[in-house]
Amino acid sequence: MLASPPPVRLVSRDGRPTLRRAGARGRPLRDLYFSLLRIPWTRLIPLLFVIYIGIVAVFTLFYLLDPNAIAGVRPGHAGDVFFFSVETFATIGYGAFTPKSLYGHIVVTVEAFIGMLAVAMLAGLAFAKFSRPTARVIFSNRAVIGRLDNQRVLMIRMANGRESNVIDAEVYLTMLRDEVTAEGKLMRRFRDLRLLRSWTPVFALTWLAIHVIDDASPLHEATPESLAAANAQIAVTVGGIDVTYAQSVQAQFSYVASEVVWDARFADVIEDGPEGRRVNYDRLHDVEPLLE
């Protein structure tokens, strides 16, 4: 009996891959722009500030090599030289300190050039991060296997987390599981799960993806135990065009076997309120057992 590794979610709720690569040599400088785009602002801004201070400090050391490089600084006072480097890098130029020697003018020229490059690169990076369209799709915490129209079905509920509509939206479901080939090898297989409706003209509020478990379904005769033994998980991919950005947006999530609730249904999210009917997102993840 071939042993399967413990289940690992394919992607996290924010769409990031959870599996780590081994054996591939990382080249962060080659993919620096890609890496910076993926870093959240809370980590990117401190990182950029540290790089900025590092560059300024390096040029401070260059200025200190020549005691006559800068006019107006106090002799041996590294703080004056450091802040002169800050003014030069940012092209501020308050006028209190000025380059004096030829060596000082050369270092100032190099630092000012690097400063202009840095401003242009940071502006481009900030614009790219701000303008990059992302889909804010809320996936239900659990997938559900129950009954609908006298058929056994798999259901996954999603909601549009923005007020902006997503038009021409499509959703795909894929089941991943370990299978043993005819040669006795363990292989990770991808099985498509056909949906009753995989396309919608407008994804405005919620969307219930429904897969009928018939004789042709990869989930036919599946049980909680068999899915767990095969390390099965269900990957969901949603894509469409955000009307605000007028660009394509995508979102992904996956459910491991323990996150599939059997013989249940999703609770109704449509309710009557003081101002009429509304969709209650607080109940998006609620499930109810099937009535006998």
Q: Which of 85, 112, 131 is the last residue of a domain?
A: 131
Residues 91 and 165 in one domain: no
pLDDT the model gives residue 76: 79
Residue 225: its H or E element:
helix 224-229
pLDDT classification of 183: cutoffs 50, 70, 90: very high
Which CATH number is 281's domain given?
2.60.40.1400
Residue range 13-42, pLDDT digits in tens: 555 656 666 655 656 667 788 888 888 899
Confidence of residue 1 (pLDDT cuts 50, 70, 90): very low
Residue 179 is predicted with a pLDDT of 93
Q: Look at residues 99, 114, 131 and tell me which one is the last residue of a structural domain.
A: 131
Residues 155 and 279 in one domain: yes
Report the percent of the chain where pLDDT is more than 70: 89
Look at residues 157, 55, 160 and name the one whose alpha carbon lies nearest to residue 111.
Answer: 55
In a domain, 8, yes or no: no
Please tell me whether residues 259 and 160 are part of one structural domain. Answer: yes
The most confident of the ranges 87-96, 106-115, 268-277 is 106-115
Helix locations, 3-139, DSSP H? 32-38, 41-64, 78-89, 102-131
Q: Is the pLDDT at 201 greater than 80, yes or no?
A: yes
User: What CATH code is carried by the domain that includes residue 97?
Assistant: 1.10.287.70
Please compute Rg for the chain using Cα positions.
29
**How many degrees, rounded to 5, is the angle at CA 89 between CA 83 and CA 90?**
90
Number of folded domains that form the chain: 2
| Confidence (pTM) | 0.76
pLDDT in tens, 35-85: 888 888 999 999 999 999 999 999 999 999 999 999 988 887 899 999 999
Given a cut of 80, whether residue 242 has pLDDT beyond it is yes
**pLDDT given at position 2:** 46
Domain boundary residue, one of 99, 131, 163: 131
| pLDDT confidence of residue 11 | 65
Are 160 and 187 part of one and the same domain?
yes
Q: What is the pLDDT of residue 225?
A: 95
Residues 53 and 70 in one domain: yes
Sign of CA dihedral 65, 66, 70, 76: positive
Range of the domain at 265: 137-289
Residues 126 and 144 grouped into a single domain? no
Phi/psi at 274 (nearest 5 deg)?
-60, -30
